Structure 1
Amino acid sequence: MLTHLAAFTGAAVLVALAPGPSTVVILRASLRSRRAGTLTAVGNELGVLLWGVAAAAGLSALLVASRVAYDGLRIVGAVVLVVFGVRALRAVRRSAVPSGVPSGVPSGVPDGAEAGEGGWRSVRRGVVTNLANPKAGVFAVSFLPQFVPASVGTGVPLAAFLLLLAVWWTVIDLAWYLTVVTLAGAARRVLGRPAVRRRLDQASGIVLVGLGARLAAETR
């Protein structure tokens, strides 16, 4: 069992390092404030845990077996990513410097307003980003069972072991994203400058819209 857990840990670390929509959303939140980034990461991991619990209960298998369920969640996920992307692009317009305003002084909604948004909103953003991705559900139901030893099912219930893997996967994923939040916080002095911030918002918006479009267009 320890051998399987060690193998699972290595695989989960590699999965966490792979960039995706969650990385973009958490990074952008981290540039507003460390609190926003941390809460968004926590929300994302709640989504990971829910997918893991669903896999342990066999619910994620519906996404594999049902084309309708998968496509429905895929379209919802695509809409969510596009909405987040459009919001990022709108933030670029709001922070644009109008003529007559000294360089370096942003207009529109200041960073402080976004940084002070409610904690629940940040958590919700992370949860929605993760749960709206059907690939996460399919991945959970196909990834976790690979690391179940043959002995499980006799002394230890299968569902209990899958739940253990799901919790450990969540912990590993959270550790990585908290590292991302910390690194973004350390670079905020540079990345938080109005001109740089606008470019990052623009880039993240384009990436999210692109990911949403790709998710909407893909076929199984």
Structure 2
Amino acid sequence: MDAQLTAFVGVAAAMVALPGADFTVVVRNALASRAAGVATALGVAGGLLVHTALAVAGLAAVLVAVPMLFRTIQLLGGAYVLYLGISALHAARRRSGPGPENGQGEEGEQGGARAAKGTGRALRQGFLTNALNPKAPVLFLSLLPQFVPAGAAPLPRTLLLAAIVVVLALIWFPAVALLVDRLGRWLRRPRTARAIEGGSGAALTALGLVLVTGPLLH
């Protein structure tokens, strides 16, 4: 592995692992179930695949060249993250109400029947949270060319770099989901789960507000 490629793996790993909306959504859904957490993680990786494909194709440059298009995607992404945040805050509020402390009973019995639907929704949430992030295409567009050696064919190299990012996401986010599930007995205690749900909701709401109300990014 050449020095530039080694450096890129380090930069990409840090970029993927940096806590943000993706991380928050994976943790939140992993608290519901292992399947939901892993499905969300796979959705996030799918969103990254879209961004890296756009960067490799050069289409991400259009988002920079056409500010109105960029702003539209920024608003859509912010609105979706804001929706997830408000949903999480609402769920945390419901947890504070009366109900079985161990999470069993009627809600637990209905959980299995909703498993397939919940997994599909989690997959979509992970994908949309990442795919609607307006900063990602600009980041990839500016990052990938920095690690293409002079004289090297750009297409094969950028394809390799893009694949590395997606593989790292496929390792990191499912690992986060599985770790949350392993710690599930403690994390799913009513008070702990309520705190995490509320914290996740507050973080997602704040991120959504920044995207919706923030100035146009360049």
Q: Identify whether the pair has TM-score above 0.5, normalized to the shorter chain.
A: yes
* Aligned amino acid, residue 150 of structure 2: A
1:186 equivalent in alignment to 2:185 = no
What is the CA-CA distance between 1:33 and the residue it aligns to? 1.2
* Aligned amino acid, residue 180 of structure 2: A
Which residue is equivalent to 2:162?
166
Which residue is equivalent to 1:58?
58
Which residue is equivalent to 1:16?
16
Separation in 2, partners of 1:56, 1:213: 30
* Aligned amino acid, residue 170 of structure 2: L
Is the 2:101–2:190 contact (alpha carbons within 8 Å) kept by the matching residues of 1? no
Q: Structure 1's 206 and 108: CA in aligned 2 closer, same or farther, altered over 3 A?
A: farther
What is the CA-CA distance between 1:26 and the residue it aligns to? 0.5
* Aligned amino acid, residue 192 of structure 1: R
C-alpha RMSD over aligned residues: 2.2
Separation in 2, partners of 1:111, 1:143: 48
- Structure 2's unaligned 5+ residue stretches are none
Which residue is equivalent to 2:205?
209
Q: Structure 1's 104 and 185: CA in aligned 2 closer, same or farther, altered over 3 A?
A: closer
The total of aligned residue pairs comes to 214
* Aligned amino acid, residue 179 of structure 2: L
Moved over 3 A (4+): 101-112
**SS, match of residue 150 in structure 2:** coil
**SS, match of residue 151 in structure 2:** coil
The normalised TM-score by structure 1 is: 0.89
Please list the CA deviations of residues 17-74 of structure 1 after superposition, one character each: whole Å capped at 9, or x if unmatched.
2111001000111111111111111110111011101001111111222211111111
**SS, match of residue 164 in structure 1:** helix
* Aligned amino acid, residue 212 of structure 2: A
**SS, match of residue 133 in structure 1:** coil
Matches for 1:67-78 after TM superposition, within 5 Å: 67-78=67-78
1:196 equivalent in alignment to 2:192 = yes
* Aligned amino acid, residue 70 of structure 1: F
**SS, match of residue 96 in structure 2:** coil
Q: Structure 1's 105 and 183: CA in aligned 2 closer, same or farther, altered over 3 A?
A: closer
Is the 1:12–1:169 contact (alpha carbons within 8 Å) kept by the matching residues of 2? yes
Matches for 1:28-43 after TM superposition, within 5 Å: 28-43=28-43
**For structure 1, which segment, 117-126 or 207-216, has the greater mean C-alpha deviation from structure 2 after superposition?**
117-126
What is the CA-CA distance between 1:2 and the residue it aligns to? 2.3
Q: Structure 1's 77 and 161: CA in aligned 2 closer, same or farther, altered over 3 A?
A: same
Which residue is equivalent to 2:89?
89
Is the 2:85–2:202 contact (alpha carbons within 8 Å) kept by the matching residues of 1? yes
What is the CA-CA distance between 1:172 and the residue it aligns to? 1.1
* Aligned amino acid, residue 128 of structure 1: L
Q: Structure 1's 143 and 102: CA in aligned 2 closer, same or farther, altered over 3 A?
A: closer
* Aligned amino acid, residue 185 of structure 1: D
* Aligned amino acid, residue 144 of structure 1: L
* Aligned amino acid, residue 97 of structure 1: G
Separation in 1, partners of 2:204, 2:105: 24
Is the 2:40–2:126 contact (alpha carbons within 8 Å) kept by the matching residues of 1? yes
